[in-house]
Amino acid sequence: MTHVNPRWSWYWGIWALMGLYMASWDMAMYPSGSTLRLLMMNLLQNGTWGLLGLFLLWLANHRPIESFAWSQWKTWGLHLLASVAVAAFGLFLAYIISLLVQLGEWKKPLDMAMILKGLPRFYRSYFHTNLLFMWAVVAAFHGLRIYRKYKTREVVTAQLEARFAEAQNLALRMQLQPHFLFNTLNSISALVHSNPDGADEMISRLGDFLRATLDEPQGPMVTLRRELAFIQDYLAIEQIRFQDRLRVEVQIPAELMDLRLPSFILQPLVENALKHGLDDRPQGGTLYLRARKEAGNLVLEVQDDGDGYVAGREGVGLTNVRSRLGLLYKGTSQLEIMGTVGHGTLVVLRLPLEAAAGAGP
Amino acid sequence: MNLRALVVDDEALARQRIRHLLRRTDDIEVVAECANGLEAVKAIEDLKPDLVFLDIQMPELDGFGVVEAVGAEGMPPTLFITAYDQHALKAFEVHALDYLLKPFSPERFHKALERARRWCLQQPGMGPDLEALLAGLRQERPWVDRLLVKQGDRHVLVRTAALQWIEAEDNYVRLHVEGTSHLLRQTMSGLLARLDPAQFRRIHRSAIVNLDCIKEFQPWSGGDHLVIMRDGTRLTLSRTFREQFGEWL
């Protein structure tokens, strides 16, 4: 349950402002009256109402009106009754205050007959306005309450969303690994007999690769340098597996190395390039990795010289990359796949530079 | 008696591993190695090996695609090998088939080999039920995205997305693909069951179309419609099949 706990300086400040406002109203109506007296009277009256308002606040917190539903009629009734009572009692006190202030000026003692004589007229003049005023107070408390509730919910939703995105991100990354992992282990078991040095190399590369997937202290974004180191571990393993059929060319300017991008976003693209670009070709092929800055974007390119991508269903890897980009950049990034049959495939990934350069979106 | 074995894996090192493990046995001879599914189908048909070591994950035509292309009844005893495929593992468990998980130990390999030897000595048809395995896998992955067709003595892989329309021709179906066509021994309903219904619909007793390749429909006589394809081919949508297009016509 959301409680309204107004800052007290604000609470009393607003009542004081109301007092000043009403004093100016009185001054306009009775230009002959003493300014000091009108000011004092109105401030005292509003202070009294402020005290009574605490009761309405308590009621708003403990018996809040939650909806317009019929089942809430008791609560509506309670608030109506309370506001009538507060308006009536508040008006009585206000009347006494105005009398006391006036009496100070008239220098006459207070007598009962006089009080009773003026009271009905005072009520006739002010009760309806005052009741309306109290309703405004009740409405203000409820408005504040709903606003607080909404704010809290918004914060909770945002937190949930962030956590969900993070979890999803993690799950998507994990999905990439098992295939590669088991195939690599199998290759190592072959290499152990035929090429012990190669097996050795592969084990240490695999170690680096696994370390990179396991520890990720920097959150969902990493520097291009780190991502590239990871890709190179991956490619080194694949190069041993493809045995000279795979050539790799990296063209990435050193000044781009500190730009940030989503972790492990390149690996599926490279994996795809190897799978669809090189696997079926006995003579092997070349993989190009390029990066550049262009029109506020970090542009990354993965190109192979294989058979060329034919539009059709996208594999798990690409679907994965797309959903992670969607989560992290919310539509401001772009992934394009261009292929011509017989002339290889070019994948172009554009990431907005502000997000790429900063601490991440 | 020496067993003639075929080793199928897209990775040279994986094939090398199997050759290495087979060195310990003297009754198995590797007659060929294949680096992809297409080669494997051809080698199985040409060489008729007694035993196949078959990797499941291969680009284009995978291990199950090989079994399907050769036909479960024509498939020699097969030892399936996989790195990681939950669908396949489930299917193997259900059909009590032996399989090897990469990386496998020599002991595990020889145990599987021992079992495979027994199938080879049995009468054909006494081994594991590949037909049931394929049927089980079809439930998991009902639509195919490639079809293997024979052209002369060559095998050709056709992407289903590239199929424009399919025509019934006696006991065969004719697949029309960009300017050429292939015959496939299959029934219309049998093929239709393997094609994604979001993309392929039957429009006539003797025609299935790829929805992506339709240009327009024109009303024709007797409640039939004329279907005009992108390449200009005119086909008939018969009354009987019209209701599938209810949302459009």
Higher-pLDDT residue of A165, A127: A127
* A312 to B11: CB separation less than 8 angstroms, yes or no: no
Whether the predicted pLDDT of B30 surpasses 90? yes
- SS3 call for B234: strand
Instruction: Give dist(CA A53, CA A241) in Å, integer.
Output: 79
* B102 to A276: CB separation less than 8 angstroms, yes or no: no
Count of beta carbons in the 10 Å neighbourhood of residue A288? 17
- ipTM value: 0.70
Quick one: which of A47, A29, A125, A131 has its CA closest to A87? A131
Which of A143-147, A264-268, B122-126 has the lowest average pLDDT?
B122-126
Most confident of A173-177, A207-211, A215-219, B232-236: B232-236
Quick one: which of A351, A346, A324 has its CA closest to A336? A346
Quick one: which of B107, B28, B17 has its CA closest to B55? B17
The answer for residues whose C-beta is within 8 angstroms of residue A106's C-beta and 6 or more apart is none
The answer for residues whose C-beta is within 8 angstroms of residue B214's C-beta and 6 or more apart is B227, B228, B229, B230
* B13 to A276: CB separation less than 8 angstroms, yes or no: no
Quick: pLDDT tens for A60-74.
888 888 888 888 888
Predicted structure pTM score: 0.60
Residues of A with CB under 8 A from a CB of B: 178-179, 181-183, 185-191, 193-194, 241, 243, 275-276, 279-280, 282, 310-313
Residues of B with CB under 8 A from a CB of A: 10-14, 16-17, 20, 35-36, 57, 59-60, 83-84, 101-104, 145, 159, 161-162
CB A227 within 8 A of CB A266: yes
Best probe of the B interface among A179, A184, A186, by most B CBs < 10 A, is A186
* B13 to A191: CB separation less than 8 angstroms, yes or no: yes
Angstrom CA distances, A334 to A151, A259, A316, A328, stand at 33, 17, 18, 12
**How far from each other are the two terminal CA atoms of chain B, in whole angstroms?**
66
* A186 to B102: CB separation less than 8 angstroms, yes or no: yes
Whether the predicted pLDDT of A46 surpasses 60? yes
The answer for residues whose C-beta is within 8 angstroms of residue A183's C-beta and 6 or more apart is A241, B11, B14, B83, B102
Q: Which amino acid is at B218?
A: Q
Quick: pLDDT tens for A211-258.
877 765 556 778 899 889 889 988 988 888 877 778 899 999 999 999
Domain boundaries, chain A: 8-168, 176-357
Instruction: Give dist(CA B160, CA B196) in Å, integer.
Output: 9
Instruction: Give dist(CA B121, CA A67) in Å, integer.
Output: 80
* B14 to A279: CB separation less than 8 angstroms, yes or no: no
Cα nearest neighbour of B55 on chain A: A183
Q: What is the 3-state secondary structure (H, E, C) of chain A?
A: CCCCCCCHHHHHHHHHHHHHHHHHHHHHHCCCCCHHHHHHHHHHHHHHHHHHHHHHHHHHHHCCCCCCCHHHHHHHHHHHHHHHHHHHHHHHHHHHHHHHHHHHHHCCCCCHHHHHHHHHHHHHHHHHHHHHHHHHHHHHHHHHHHHHHHHHHHHHHHHHHHHHHHHHHHHHHHHCHHHHHHHHHHHHHHHHHHCHHHHHHHHHHHHHHHHHHHCCCCCCEEEHHHHHHHHHHHHHHHHHHHCCCEEEEEECCHHHCCCEEECCCHHHHHHHHHHHHHCCCCCCEEEEEEEEEECCEEEEEEEECCCCCCCCCCCHHHHHHHHHHHHHHCCCCEEEEEECCCCCEEEEEEEEHHHHHCCCC
Looking at residue A217, what is its pLDDT?
A: 52
Angstrom CA distances, A41 to A59, A118, A354, stand at 28, 17, 59
Share of chain A above pLDDT 90, in %: 25
Looking at residue A358, what is its pLDDT?
A: 45
Quick: pLDDT tens for A212-223.
777 655 567 788
Q: Which domains does chain B have, with CATH numbers?
A: 3-140 (3.40.50.2300), 146-245 (2.40.50.1020)
CATH code of A176-357, in short, is 3.30.565.10
